[in-house]
Amino acid sequence: MLWEWERPHIDRLLWNARTFGREVVQRYFANWRALGEENQRIWETYYRPRPAYEPWDSWQAWMREYRALVRDVQDIAEEHNGRLRHDRRPIRQDRQERDPSSP
């Protein structure tokens, strides 16, 4: 298969989507022009209105979303694997209130 080497990446994409309650849809395009038009639509709908660095408010909103995502990933990893012995991060207050017996 031409794209056989991408299979592990596709599997990881699907796993991430399931983990965070997202949906991945495989789409086919009649030609390269149709693919380009869809990419343009996605760019204009989702990325252009909120540029990464300008204006500053947009950047701050992106950083809040990113930090929330990182916290969720850390929580999921800790639930699955527990905290590591060398992990010296302080326990977040909200987790300690939920489960006082947590490390």
- Each domain of the chain, given as residue ranges in start order, spans 27-82
- Half-sphere exposure at residue 38, Cβ-oriented, CA atoms within 13 angstroms: 9
Each of the 103 residues of the chain gets a pLDDT tens digit; together they read: 556 667 888 888 889 889 888 888 888 889 999 999 999 998 888 777 666 556 677 778 888 999 999 999 888 888 887 765 556 666 565 555 555 554 4
| Max Cα–Cα distance, the chain, nearest Å | 58
pLDDT at 90: 62
Closest CA to 24 of 14, 15, 11: 14
pLDDT at 38: 92
The whole-model pTM stands at 0.36
